[in-house]
Structure 1
């Protein structure tokens, strides 16, 4: 008997745990909650369970009346139950909490993950009529009343009087506007300037 227990394979042990409702990866499923495994003879599961029956760890019998009568129900013996519990590995440590986990705890207080992290994200602006529109990517100073976190664009409501920290050039496509913004951001990081609106930028150039 002892030898048979030691020789139980990982597959057979997994079937025994499943029979008893045990789960190695969940701390709330470390105690026996059931004792049955229904399968059909001749399949891989049945063949492995038959090995456990021969070892005295399980029994097999007829299925309930509401099941197909050509199936077999396997149940763990008292020895099988103890063997299954003894073979459970230590409870895995809880997963390390991330900043995103912390954000999910209070996400209703923020306008997105970037807002939670305090990242000052840029936004697109738009001007012109349909067919002749231009786009610009800008970054507002922190604390600006014009700064929005819920979306990365501000097509309808922007003003040349708004103070901007970084501003790219107007371009016919968003892709070109983004490239221009990246160049402006690189220059800003090399030589930081005070935030200014469009008029101040025009006359200080």
Structure 2
């Protein structure tokens, strides 16, 4: 009965494009192994040649003159396939895998997960521009998943769930929102969440385009 060491079997699998650890490489896709005489790989492949599992011949003309090419025989192909262990179980699917299957239907991974993402608002002109970060209640007509590119399109009459303070930079606005969010989460769960409306005193900022 023909036997092969783990090293020799690995070389035979590599020659045929097989891989015991991958379920998508369980069929023969090629048949060649290029190396030079005297190396460990060639010494092991010569053992397979002697066993009738491989042949050894001259390498193509574009290869260095001292190289040789090994190919599996029909017997060697069947031997390699027979020695493959059972395929590994499929990898556990994650929520991100499921998102990739239908990502064109969503505005991002957060949308797929149903996460209520905050958004920026903007008011004022270049000389005195201010920003704040807010979060709309679920079901709000103003709620969007993509970040606003025109931050000025908002109304002072929108109902908000969490809102930070107006700040001169986006970084400061984000820090203020985080503090407001922490306070919002600290509210007792038994108490119903009351929506917070934008302050009427804040001047309505509309698109100037």
TM norm. shorter chain > 0.5: yes
2:3 aligned with 1:9? no
Alpha carbons of 1:201 and 1:100: their partners in 2 closer, same or farther (altered >3 Å)?
Answer: farther
- For the 8 Å contact 1:123–1:154, the answer to whether it is kept is no
Cα distance in 2, alignment partners of residues 33 and 198 from structure 1: 64
Q: Decide which structure has greater helix share.
A: 1
Q: After TM superposition, where is structure 1 displaced by more than 4 Å over at least 4 residues in a row?
A: 64-70
Matches within 5 A, 1:139-178: 139-151=135-147, 155-178=151-174
**Aligned residue among 184, 187, 194 for 1:188:** 184
| 8 Å contact kept, 2:52–2:75 | yes
> Could you tell me how far apart the structure 2 residues matched to 1:67 and 1:183 are?
66
Give, in whole Å, the separation in 2 of the partners of 1:28 and 1:196: 54
Matches within 5 A, 1:32-111: 32-64=28-60, 70-111=66-107
- Give the 3 Å change call, closer, same or farther, for CA 55–152 of structure 1 in structure 2: farther
8 Å CA contact 2:156–2:200 kept in 1: the answer is: no
**Cα deviation digits, residues 77-134 of structure 1 (max 9, x gap):** 4543343223212201111111111112222222111111111011111222224322
Say if 2:162 and 2:177, in contact at 8 Å, map to a contact too: yes
Pairwise CA RMSD: 2.7
Moved more, 35-44 or 168-177: 35-44
Matched pairs, number: 198
Residue of structure 2 in register with 1:179 after alignment: 175
Residue-by-residue CA offset, 1:54-87 (whole Å, 9 max, x unaligned): 4443221223567665431212245433432232
The aligned residue for residue 128 of structure 2 is 132
The question of whether the paired residues in 2 share the 8 Å contact of 1:122 and 1:152 is answered with no
Q: Secondary structure at the match of 2:90?
A: coil
Shift of 1:48: 3.4
**Cα distance in structure 2, aligned partners of 1:169 and 1:36:** 67
| 5+ residue gaps, structure 2 | 203-209
